[in-house]
Structure 1
């Protein structure tokens, strides 16, 4: 690993620009954040994917490898990626810092506590929760209705037992008993606010708008009315600053913010992406899970809020994912018919990319068990459809295994770029926005709103939150709301169970199907494999 000051120097940053966390991690000080008005931003490359299997398809690995490949062919490049959450690290997927020879470093520290951003977000979120219950306990003039409190608590570990809880038990001194629950920190509205805020004033304004519940006369109660804004902002003072680390081959990487793509908006912070794009010629970023989740939110939420817009969209495909979307076993080589049937799923995602004006570059992420015949089927299909396609072997070969992909990305970036376009108008009703995403991106024939969702929407319209964009929480394993419905499902109805108002983040959070905002651990969690050696090294991630 290179010293972080050497990494910063490649971007034109000096020691005074950084707040260092040892030799290999730093934060970019607020006064050193680049001004895009003084230097035109470089080209943003958005890396997305088809719907993954439960183990993931290596999208972060491809993003890191692509950045290394771009650097190898002479392009000044920086990464802008999300911070890992402890939930998947100890759960199913394990580490979230890439893998093989395409990894963020120092990987173990990034995967664990990093610079403390996740903890700061959790602390700010739970401080607001404590202030809410304190106001109820002391019967403040806000006159909060304890049965109409929407602000839950958060924890950055998968813990299904905390999804629904009762607090305030044990007598009057312990507060007012009421039902509540926990979300994972990656789903916190504070996380979304941190990632979408442009500066301190924007952060504080968004924090102040957070809707925590209602009083006894059905009037909204916000974080500002609870006098929570200042203390929450103070807790987030350092967490607001983008983190600078490096990739395996010394590529600078801004790793900041970590909302999940299935239950949140799935994109790293605006400040990190803007810093990468302003300080380098190419900024490689990613959006969570498949294009139906993270990438749609990247365009309709992050880009709409910030004015950023990519130059290229890369769509990651794997043999394993196509097998399962073709009706086969993702871990076993099957007949080529499974791949061919799975290509219908890929075709749907390509059409979704076209909706935003882009022709995607297809990256075939190669795994050790893939057969040459299977890989050839995918490449030939892409060639027949006149798509830019490149195989990626970065996990084993590093940047050298991404050079063909890098050349394809550069070629795509030099074509005329589409103007910014969004999937729906903010003037449309919330129901229309949800239906547009469901029908255009997911392929649904209709949307079914539950009785609870209808009541939520009525309240949203009454309170004037109807012009907010929508962030749909949906399974990442299927285009539909049913994780078992793989492939290219048609004619399904998307079930909307409830709609939460995320006024600070600036969107409506739409919960579909059986989606939960606090994941659970699997039967054999990845935590079983993680250990600390006598020499102080973390292993098993």
Structure 2
């Protein structure tokens, strides 16, 4: 079997103008980046705003394990399969971050014969969106310290500057730093730090903004710190929002690429799901819905993170309601949840599968709490036994949910046609509307508790008095109607990444909260989760290089 990058490189790509033509678009609607990728212009996006909308299908999954789940691969395979059965479909995905590409997780363009191409470009610099986001964020950082240096007219309390810097890389050494060292000419020394770019509020804003005007108004509302009277200082106070918008002007336009089977894909934005809200941009999703009869999109990591935030943040703010939800699972991953070591996952083990299936059951039940119809995609591995497949089907049937065996990784869209038929039937017959988990007007702490108890199965939330006081202050300041964005490990329903299966009765520790006034949500940082990840002992970067033909190898 060929590697992902070999399959991608052998793909017969069509000119991006041909892919656009499938959607009724022409060259005037595009800003081409070479022959195989392009941005849709602001004018095109604006023209499509009032068009009738297609059906929205969300792909989510069980909690990720080293065994692999294949959520993006399934999203691509499903999109290709829907097109194969005559359903005009656009796939909407997030852009990958360089951090996990060179760290441990790898890229995010799918796998096998269900990939988006050009895979190397998408996983690396692509069209420069992430660089623009990092630049806009760090421009604001620079303007804060510059303002303080030149007299501090806004009376910044330098102990309460909350805006950090970002870089699109995993680098634990930058989590906490001192800036402006070296004497008076370099400014006033203070403590600061870096987050990864995908955790930036600028990323969240770009992914939730409706247009350029909305983008600038959201950027203007970013709170960067507090003055000596403990009053908030915003990007607008620094006159930074205009220049930041200029840097993000092109980045706000969604990117058009194609699958290996030459079907259209919009890839735009990329907030992490464990430390941010984990969804592609509202602009890309709405544009896809205006261009096609079906849109397949995904939410990051397991349904406890990505899907919950997709519903409670993205759908709440954008007025979206999915017509069907696909929960991706693999028998290998469920056996790992049942206690099997990674080295033994190729051996049939029905007892472990039954034990580990509680993870899938919890995710299905959680999605059903939002009132949406669900189908399970069993992402097939050659080591899956017929008995294991039967057992997993029985588990799903017991919940009133179909489980469809999918072979899109090895067969492309042809291997997911059964899933496509099931999803189209669900979407076409669904009359339910999304039921949000909590109302806007309940206290912020109650929102955090609701997610912890209803989605994570926790008994309680532990929160320090000063953190609780901060939530109360934000409520008094008018931010109490914001949804909450839980920053938690992706590997478990708990805050302990080693607690697999479906732990219940645990405590979710909230150690810090952050206000994203421009994006419009509160971030609750739980347990040991970091907004600046570190590289593993042996990072993927060690195996990525160029071969003698100048081709990239080792990228996955």
TM-score, with length taken from structure 1: 0.98
Superposed counterparts of 1:395-414, under 5 Å: 395-414=409-428
Residue from 445, 453, 457 that aligns with 1:443: 457
Q: Which residue of 1 aligns with 2:158?
A: 146
Is 1:130 the equivalent of 2:137? no
**Is the 2:167–2:197 Cα contact (8 Å) retained in structure 1?**
yes
Is 1:302 the equivalent of 2:321? no
Q: Which residue of 2 aligns with 1:215?
A: 227
Q: Which residue of 1 aligns with 2:8?
A: none
Residue from 73, 95, 110 that aligns with 2:85: 73
Offset of residue 92 of structure 1: 0.7
Is 1:278 the equivalent of 2:301? no
Q: Which residue of 2 aligns with 1:57?
A: 69
What is the rounded CA distance, in whole Å, between the counterparts of 1:404 and 1:45 in structure 2? 15
Q: Which residue of 1 aligns with 2:554?
A: 540
Deviates more, 1:489-498 or 1:384-393: 384-393
Offset of residue 36 of structure 1: 5.5
**Is the 1:44–1:283 Cα contact (8 Å) retained in structure 2?**
yes
Q: 1:36/1:445 Cα in 2 relative to 1: closer, same or farther (>3 Å)? A: farther
TM-score, with length taken from structure 2: 0.95
SS in 2 for 1:214: strand
Residue from 333, 336, 339 that aligns with 2:353: 339
Deviates more, 1:494-503 or 1:448-457: 448-457
**Is the 1:52–1:476 Cα contact (8 Å) retained in structure 2?**
yes
Residue from 379, 385, 399 that aligns with 1:385: 399
**Is the 1:495–1:513 Cα contact (8 Å) retained in structure 2?**
yes
Is 1:418 the equivalent of 2:436? no
Offset of residue 255 of structure 1: 0.1
SS in 1 for 2:257: strand
Cα displacement string for residues 350-396 of structure 1 (whole angstroms, at most 9, x for unaligned residues) = 11111111231000011233333322221232234331211111111
Unaligned 5+ segments in structure 1 are: none
Cα displacement string for residues 242-290 of structure 1 (whole angstroms, at most 9, x for unaligned residues) = 0000011011000000001000000000011111111011100000001
Superposed counterparts of 1:354-503, under 5 Å: 354-503=368-517
What is the rounded CA distance, in whole Å, between the counterparts of 1:196 and 1:81 in structure 2? 14
Residue from 33, 53, 61 that aligns with 1:21: 33
**Is the 2:67–2:342 Cα contact (8 Å) retained in structure 1?**
no
**Is the 2:67–2:336 Cα contact (8 Å) retained in structure 1?**
no
Offset of residue 417 of structure 1: 2.2
**Is the 2:49–2:286 Cα contact (8 Å) retained in structure 1?**
no
What is the rounded CA distance, in whole Å, between the counterparts of 2:130 and 2:118 in structure 1? 17
Q: Which residue of 1 aligns with 2:301?
A: 289
Residue from 522, 529, 554 that aligns with 1:515: 529
Cα displacement string for residues 443-481 of structure 1 (whole angstroms, at most 9, x for unaligned residues) = 111111024422322331332212211001000000011
**Is the 2:69–2:329 Cα contact (8 Å) retained in structure 1?**
yes
Number of equivalent positions: 541
What is the rounded CA distance, in whole Å, between the counterparts of 2:316 and 2:375 in structure 1? 23
SS in 2 for 1:414: helix
Offset of residue 342 of structure 1: 1.1
Q: Which residue of 1 aligns with 2:130?
A: 118
What is the rounded CA distance, in whole Å, between the counterparts of 2:406 and 2:46 in structure 1? 32
Unaligned 5+ segments in structure 2 are: 1-12
